[in-house]
Every structure is written in C-alpha cells, then in structure tokens.
C-alpha cells in the first residue's frame, strides 16, 4: 500500500512528513533541510525555480519571484486584503474572473497553480526519500480558512498530481503531533502564529479523541506583518535622512524584506541587531547606503498591537467554548512566529503558566498531518478528529429572514436538512439563497451563492414540499441541494471559490450578531408575525369564497371588517408585532363561526383536503 504524506503548505515555509514504523517523520528536501521556502521564481531563461534556490535569487529578480502566495489563496479582487497585497508584494497581483491571481511576463497564474509548484517539489522530495511514487496526501489549512480558501488549497493539490485525502485544520494536526489525544481528557489551547495566518483553537483531547470546541483567527496576520513593520520603519527612516522614498523601488523593497526577516530572527536571541544594506539606491549625488541599528525593545513596540490582537482573539475563542482560562490545562505553541519573545511573553502572561514548546513549531503541523493520513489509511487505529464549522449556515426565507440549517460550532462532517414550501399560489420555481453568518436577517449575512429549483407543479402556496439539504464534508467544503419531494426534481450547488469570506467579515459577523441581538429579535418577531398574519388572511379569504352564502350575513360582515383591519396593518411596513398580533386575534375571534360553517359544509372536506395538508415537519417560513 502506498504511503500517505502530510503537508503543511505554509505562507513562508512548507514541510512534508510521512508516517512509518509507528511514528511520523519529517522528510528533508533535496537540499537537506526540513522546511522548504514557499517561494516560486520564473527566470529569463524560462526556468521555474522552487524553494531555497528561488529565494536566493529573489533580490535580483523581484518581479518574477512569488512568495506569500497563501495570502491571496481564494481571495477575491474586491476584498480589502487584495488591495493590501497589491501594495505590499513586488510582483503583479491582478484580477482573474473576480479572484486574485499573479501576472508573470504577460502570463496569468492562479494562486492554485503557484502553490501546486511548491507541492510538486514537496512530492518529489518525498518520493526521493521514500524511493517510491507518492500520490495520497493530507494538506493542512488555517482553522479559519473559509470555503473558497479550502477549495483552492485542494485544487492546488490536484494540479500537483496529488490525491488529497483530507484538508484538515492546522491546530488539530498540531494536537495530534503533540500526542495530546493519548493523554487523559483535558482542554487545551493551540496558539498557531505562522508567516501569514493566525489561528487559536480550543480542543478537548483524550481517550484517542481530538474534538474542536471553538476556533478563531485572522487569515491575514502573521510573521510577514512583523517584517512589514520593520520595512515601514526602515523606509520612513531612510526617507527622513535622504529624502528618497524606497517604496517605489521594487529591488530595494526585496532587499528590505530579506533584511527585515533576518533582523526579526536575530532579535529572538539578541537584544540588538544591525541592518546594513550598502548601495540600496542612488541619486544625483551618488550611491546611498542604509545602516540602522534596531533593538528588541524598538521592534516589540512596532509589533505590540499585532500581538495584542492575538491575545484578544484568545479571549474570544475561550468565551465561545464556554470556558474560562483556568479550564485550559495546556497551551501549545505552533508556527515559526511563536519564536518571537514578545509573543511568548504575552501568551504566558495571559494564562499565567508555562507554554508547551516541546515540538519544533515549523514541523509540528506536517507531523500531525502525516498522523491523520495514517488514520485514514488504517495504519493508526482508534483516533478520532472532530472539527467544527466556524459560522452558521442557512438560507433566506420569506420576509428576508436568515433561517439557519447548520449552527455555528457544529461538528463536521455533517448533513442537515429542512423542508420548506412556496410563498405564492402556483409558484413554479424557488430561488435558494445560501448564507453564512450569525445575524437574523439575510441582508446582514454573507451570501455564498444561489440557485433555482424549477418545474414545481402548480399548487396552492404552502402545499409543495421542498427539502433543502446542507452537506459539509470533512474538508469543510459545503454543498447545498434542494429537492421537490413530489416530483423528485433536484438541484444543487457546491459553493465556489468566488464566495469566500474575508477575515474582517468573519470577525465582524460575530460581533455584529451580539451587538444587534435584541434589535434583530424584534425585527424577526415582527416578520414572523407578518408571515403568520398573511397566511391567516389567505386562508380566511379562501374559506369565505368556498362557503359563499353559507356564512350568515352578520358573521360575514364581522369577518370582512376584521380582515380589512388586518390588511391595513400589514400594508404598513413599520407595524410592530404587537399591532399585528392584536388584529390577528380579532380576525381569529370573528372567524370562529367560519370554522363551524366549514365543518358543516362537508364532513369529508378534511379527508379530501388531507392529501394537500402540510407535514408537521414543513417549516412555515416559505421560500420565495
């Protein structure tokens, strides 16, 4: 049986591991290193370079050297982070069908294609080490990667010739690598700060089970941002001293990036470092040199707010898990950026306990991915991973309400369905609008996509039964289907890469939901009251028409008066739930005689109408 490799496809560096002879081992690359820079370069000779060799020539070839491609993986061109990427990256970030891509020498490449070149190198390194062909892989992603980012990562694997068995979350993989599933039941927190992404996840582990309780993060926060703070400082200092702005000099920026990264690493062990870049640029007076001393204290002042963001996120995620910090038995540090002393100090201060740094933070995720690969293949028994979906999922129903089908924090994979009906008589089609978020109304949530179910047979409103099913697989990728239960006609949509969430949207969704909780509830109550009142008006008018002269004149007059009063209230969009309920009660009282007349009309009417009766399981909120 062929082996499964575990891949940590990182923003800055990538790592590959394999499970053999009862343990997970990191596979060194052909250069003898355990990690490979996530860098791809295109040379003037038409060569494609990957890894260390690509990184070494970046200074002389900045516009054709692609790094940090993970930052635009699954990113739409109109998102805020796309503009930042364009400003920061020396290569050309362009639009391709609404999504971010890169242009090299007139040719456009998707992030999936660039990432695939990194994956191909990792695959080839693994094959050289193992002496056999490799196709099966488990690839990790940040826990807060949205659907489009996960899908793009899986596509990159496919382009690289890999059979991606599973996309798993980095913190979950890290928990496996630490062997935390083997310990007694306890709650742990994984703090994962990489080159371009940040995740914090609370898990319950023990008895061979790793269960995610809550997760949060920022898909655009990592060591790259620490580097950028140093770059901004150097650019500002140099401009103050010389009047020259280096931001427009692509080659100078590439040198600054390299110097900033090295300075950051040196400051993890030293209190001061010197940044010396001779001949950084030139003007009419001659060449210019950049020489600056940077202390650890100065650097920590630059990044203090970024580290503070991660501490805030820790508090939010612990709250989401329904826990307090005292419930956390172990804090596991993952990702190369956790080597920064300030990061360790702040996390330690937040919990008041020592941190678990026993496994190399650059390798731990790949090690865990290989273990998960062995679990899938059956080489490791009795280990169960239970991950969760970070936000609720649902559809828009009558009145613009967001009807949740899968709640936030639901363990995946999962499949859930509800039955809905039509909003109008003889409605032949419905539009299913798929939403993600925590607000009560559709317009306040993220639209993931929509599709139509057509060919519904003519029938009174409320009679057709349309089953809507949400299916999230173990990779966290969503498929939505709708089926007319009478005809069997069905339609479905796999949420495409163009419908992902930015981290700002995700973070604000949860906050907005809390902020507008009471307001949303009042609006939702009013909409539900309006829907029920509208249904009562429809049923009353239908019954009056069917009974005709069998309704006594006095009763008919009272019913019509109450009916008109309710219609008037419904015409006013600002009518409150209380106003609507009062008119509904009045019409219900007036209609009591109508019910008696209906019963006397035909004892068999109930049986004849029973064929069209809605099931108890049908949701009253109808689909438009």
Selecting among 3, 55, 64, 70, the annotated active-site residue is 70
Q: Is residue 618 part of a domain?
A: no
**Dmax (CA) of the chain:** 105
CA 537 vs CA 87, 471, 554, 564: distances in Å = 58, 36, 19, 9
Check if 503 is active-site: no
CA 463 vs CA 107, 424, 466, 544: distances in Å = 54, 10, 10, 20
CA gap 532, 88 in Å, rounded: 54
- Across the strands, what pairs with 395? 403, 434
Residues 215 and 138 in one domain: yes
Asked if 455 and 496 count as a contact pair (C-beta separation under 8 A), the reply is: no
**Which residues lie below 8 Å from residue 309, measured CB to CB, with a gap of 6+?**
198, 218, 221
Instruction: Report pLDDT for 184.
Output: 73
CA 461 vs CA 332, 421, 567, 623: distances in Å = 55, 7, 18, 10
Selecting among 147, 155, 181, 192, the annotated active-site residue is 192
Q: Model pTM greater than 0.85?
A: no
Burial (0-12, 13-18, 19+ Cβ within 10 Å), 499: buried
CATH code assigned at 294: 3.90.640.10
Q: Is residue 543 part of a domain?
A: yes
Asked if 273 and 245 count as a contact pair (C-beta separation under 8 A), the reply is: no
Give 214's Cβ-side CA count (13 Å radius).
Answer: 17
Domain count, the chain: 4
Of 209, 223, 208, 279, which Cα lies nearest the Cα of 70?
A: 223
Residues 203 and 69 in one domain: yes
**Which residues lie below 8 Å from residue 558, measured CB to CB, with a gap of 6+?**
590
Last residue of a domain, one of 267, 302, 337: 302
**Which residues lie below 8 Å from residue 156, measured CB to CB, with a gap of 6+?**
9, 73, 111, 112, 113, 115, 116, 119
Asked if 69 and 55 count as a contact pair (C-beta separation under 8 A), the reply is: no
Residues 470 and 541 in one domain: no
CATH code assigned at 541: 1.20.1270.10
Residues 42 and 171 in one domain: yes
Compute the C-alpha angle 372/376/379, nearest 5°.
85
State pLDDT tens for residues 574-621.
Answer: 888 889 999 999 988 888 766 666 666 555 444 454 444 444 455 544
Q: Is residue 511 part of a domain?
A: yes
CATH code assigned at 173: 3.30.420.40
Question: What is the secondary structure of 255-319 as a DSSP string?
Answer: HHHHHHHHHHHHTTT-SEEEEEEEEEEEETTEEEEEEEEEEHHHHHHHHHHHHHHHHHHHHHHHH
**Which residues lie below 8 Å from residue 231, measured CB to CB, with a gap of 6+?**
253, 256, 257, 260
Q: Is residue 620 part of a domain?
A: no
State pLDDT tens for residues 409-423.
Answer: 788 888 999 998 888
Asked if 169 and 142 count as a contact pair (C-beta separation under 8 A), the reply is: yes
Residues 56 and 179 in one domain: yes
Q: Is residue 623 part of a domain?
A: no
Asked if 494 and 155 count as a contact pair (C-beta separation under 8 A), the reply is: no
Asked if 390 and 216 count as a contact pair (C-beta separation under 8 A), the reply is: yes
Q: Is residue 445 part of a domain?
A: yes
Count of all residues that appear for the chain in the document? 624
Instruction: Report pLDDT for 372.
Output: 92
Domain that holds residue 43: 5-222+303-387
Residues 108 and 179 in one domain: yes
Residues 486 and 528 in one domain: no
CA gap 291, 61 in Å, rounded: 23
Check if 511 is active-site: no
Q: Is residue 624 part of a domain?
A: no
Instruction: Report pLDDT for 491.
Output: 80
Instruction: Look at the alpha carbons of 345, 351, 353, 357 in this order and tell me if their dihedral is positive or negative.
Output: negative
3-state SS class at 478: strand
CA gap 371, 19 in Å, rounded: 6
Peptide linkage before 251 cis (omega within 30 of 0): no
- Across the strands, what pairs with 96? 99
CATH code assigned at 490: 2.60.34.10
Residues 184 and 42 in one domain: yes
Task: Tell me which residues of the chain have a pLDDT lower than 50.
Answer: 496-503, 505-506, 509, 604-607, 609-616, 620-621
CA gap 612, 282 in Å, rounded: 83
Instruction: Report pLDDT for 501.
Output: 42
Buried b (16+ CB within 10 A) or exposed e, 342-364: bbbebbeebbeeebbeebbbbbb
Chain center to CA of 588: 47
CA gap 434, 451 in Å, rounded: 9
CA 230 vs CA 57, 211, 258, 267, 339: distances in Å = 22, 38, 11, 12, 17
Residues 94 and 230 in one domain: no
CA gap 579, 570 in Å, rounded: 9
Check if 181 is active-site: no
Of 112, 93, 111, which Cα lies nearest the Cα of 103?
A: 93
Residue pointed to by tokens 């899986």: 154
Q: Is residue 622 part of a domain?
A: no
Check if 192 is active-site: yes
- Strand 13-20 relative to strand 36-37, pairing: antiparallel
Positions of E strands within 343-489: 384-388, 393-397, 401-406, 411-412, 414-420, 429-436, 446-454, 466-472, 478-484
State pLDDT tens for residues 467-510.
Answer: 999 988 877 778 888 898 888 888 876 664 433 444 454 455 45
Mark residue 106 as left, alpha or beta (left: phi above 0; alpha: psi -120 to 50; beta: remaining).
Answer: left
Residues 42 and 116 in one domain: yes
Residues 536 and 606 in one domain: yes
What are the helix (H) ranges across 206-247?
223-242
Instruction: Look at the alpha carbons of 168, 305, 232, 98 in this order and tell me if their dihedral is positive or negative.
Output: positive
Phi, psi of 109 (to 5 degrees): -120, 140
Residues 451 and 582 in one domain: no
CA gap 330, 433 in Å, rounded: 42
Q: What is the dihedral of CA 544, 548, 552, 553, to 10 degrees?
A: 90
């Amino acid at each position: 049986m062929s082996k499964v490799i575990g891949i940590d496809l990182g923003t800055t560096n990538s790592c590959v591991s394999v499970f053999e002879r009862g343990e997970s081992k990191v596979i060194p690359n052909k250069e003898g290193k355990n990690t490979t820079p996530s860098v791809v370069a295109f040379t003037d000779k038409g060569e494609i370079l990957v890894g260390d060799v690509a990184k070494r020539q970046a200074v002389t070839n900045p516009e054709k050297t692609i790094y940090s491609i993970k930052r635009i993986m699954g990113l739409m061109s109109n998102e805020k982070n796309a503009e930042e990427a364009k400003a920061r990256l020396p290569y050309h970030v362009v639009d391709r069908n609404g999504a971010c891509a890169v242009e090299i020498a007139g040719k456009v490449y998707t992030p999936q294609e660039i990432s695939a070149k990194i994956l191909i190198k990792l695959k080839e390194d693994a094959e050289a080490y193992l002496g056999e062909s490799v196709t099966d892989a488990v690839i990790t992603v940040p826990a807060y990667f949205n659907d489009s980012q996960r899908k793009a990562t899986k596509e990159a694997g496919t382009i690289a010739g890999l059979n991606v068995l599973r996309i798993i979350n980095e913190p979950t993989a890290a928990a496996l690598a630490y062997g935390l599933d083997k310990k007694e039941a306890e709650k742990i927190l994984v703090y994962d700060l990489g080159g371009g992404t940040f995740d914090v996840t609370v898990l319950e582990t023990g008895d061979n089970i790793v269960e995610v309780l809550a997760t949060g993060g920022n898909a655009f926060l990592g060591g790259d941002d620490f580097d950028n703070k140093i770059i901004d400082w150097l650019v500002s200092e140099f401009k103050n001293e010389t009047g020259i702005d280096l931001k427009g000099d692509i080659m100078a920026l590439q040198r600054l990036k390299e110097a900033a990264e090295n300075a950051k690493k040196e400051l993890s062990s030293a209190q001061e470092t010197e940044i010396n870049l001779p001949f950084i640029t030139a003007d009419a007076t001659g060449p210019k040199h950049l020489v600056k001393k940077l202390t650890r204290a100065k650097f920590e002042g630059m990044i203090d707010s970024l580290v503070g963001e991660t501490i805030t996120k820790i508090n939010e995620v612990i709250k989401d898990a329904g826990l307090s910090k005292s419930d956390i038995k172990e804090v596991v540090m993952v990702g190369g950026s956790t080597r920064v002393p300030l990061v360790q100090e702040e996390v330690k201060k937040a919990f008041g306990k020592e941190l678990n740094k026993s496994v190399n933070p650059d390798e731990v995720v790949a090690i865990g991915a290989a273990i998960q690969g062995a679990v899938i293949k059956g080489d490791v028994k009795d280990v169960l991973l239970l991950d969760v979906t970070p936000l609720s999922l649902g559809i828009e129903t009558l009145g613009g309400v967001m009807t949740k089908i899968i709640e936030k924090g639901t363990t995946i994979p999962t499949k859930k369905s509800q039955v809905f009906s039509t909003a109008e008589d003889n409605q032949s089609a419905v539009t299913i609008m798929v939403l993600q978020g925590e607000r009560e109304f559709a317009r306040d949530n993220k639209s993931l996509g929509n599709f139509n179910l057509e060919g519904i047979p003519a029938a009174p409103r409320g009679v057709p039964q349309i089953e809507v099913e949400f299916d999230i697989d173990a990779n966290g990728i969503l498929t939505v289907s709708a089926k007319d239960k009478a005809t069997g006609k069905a339609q479905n949509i796999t949420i495409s890469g163009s419908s992902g969430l930015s981290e700002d949207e995700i973070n604000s969704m949860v906050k907005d939901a809390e902020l507008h909780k009471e307001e949303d509830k009042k609006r939702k109550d009013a909409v539900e009251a309006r829907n029920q009142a509208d249904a009562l008006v429809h049923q009353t008018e239908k019954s009056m028409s069917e009974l005709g002269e069998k309704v006594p004149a006095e009763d008919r007059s009272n019913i019509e008066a109450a009916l008109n009063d309710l219609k008037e209230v419904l015409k006013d969009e600002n009518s409150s739930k209380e106003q609507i309920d009062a008119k509904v009660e009045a019409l219900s009282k007036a209609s009591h005689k109508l019910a008696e007349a209906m019963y006397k009309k035909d004892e068999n009417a109930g049986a004849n109408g029973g064929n069209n009766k809605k099931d108890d399981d049908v949701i009253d909120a109808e689909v438009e």
